[in-house]
């Protein structure tokens, strides 16, 4: 028996078929299986990437919503402070809203558990108008033993 041929030659007097190696018929099947496995792998990678992108976008949308809510609250507080000072309010009127140090008024609005929006207002020359001199997001220190890489250690 010859193992290198898929069919035996026809001995019945008709046309004879040329012998083909058995590996030729299996190679196309292996190629199709390999291609299907590649497509399944790429589909799984695409699904994983889409899921992580969706989760990232959701977190980003929540952060953006929290930031703009804090901005709206900061603007409302600035308008309230401006109104109280325009009516001739004193430092006692600002208690609970903001801290006053000379002509500077500062307050913070929480964005989330780790960040807050710090606003600093400065009274104008006439004392009636307020100018925004600082509007920044401040990250609060969480741990007492956290590393502070920007300041040298004080002994």
pLDDT digits (tens, 9 = 90+) for 103-120: 888 999 999 988 999 999
Assign 91 to helix, strand or coil: helix
Tokens 């069919």 map to which residue? 7
pLDDT at residue 68 in the model: 96
Q: What is the pLDDT along the chain (155 residues), one digit of tens a residue?
A: 555 555 555 566 656 666 655 555 678 889 999 999 999 999 999 999 999 999 999 999 999 999 999 999 999 998 888 888 777 766 666 777 788 887 888 999 999 988 999 999 887 766 567 888 899 999 887 555 555 566 555 54
Q: In this structure, are residues 85 and 76 in contact, taking their beta carbons and an 8 Å threshold?
A: no
CA within 13 Å, CB half, 131: 8
So what's the pLDDT on residue 105? 87
Report domain extents, the chain.
23-139
* Cα-to-chain-centroid distance, residue 41: 26
| Strand, coil or helix: 56 | helix
DSSP class of residue 148? -
**Which tens digit of pLDDT belongs to each residue from 48-69?**
999 999 999 999 999 999 999 9
Backbone torsions φ then ψ of 76, nearest 5 degrees: -65, -45
């Amino acid at each position: 028996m010859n193992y290198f041929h898929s069919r035996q030659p026809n001995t019945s007097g008709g046309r004879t078929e040329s012998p083909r190696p058995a590996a030729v018929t299996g190679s196309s099947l292996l190629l199709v299986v390999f291609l299907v496995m590649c497509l399944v792998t790429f589909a799984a990678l695409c699904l994983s990437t889409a899921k992580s992108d969706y989760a990232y976008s959701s977190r980003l949308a929540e952060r953006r919503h929290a930031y703009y809510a804090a901005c709206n609250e900061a603007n409302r507080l600035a308008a309230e402070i401006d109104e109280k000072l325009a009516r001739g309010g004193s430092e006692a009127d600002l208690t609970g809203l903001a801290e006053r140090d000379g002509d500077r008024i500062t307050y913070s609005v929480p964005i989330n558990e780790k960040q807050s929006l710090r606003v600093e207002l400065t009274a104008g020359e006439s004392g009636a108008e307020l100018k925004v001199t600082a509007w920044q997001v401040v990250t609060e220190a969480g741990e007492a033993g956290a590393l502070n890489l920007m300041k040298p250690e004080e002994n």
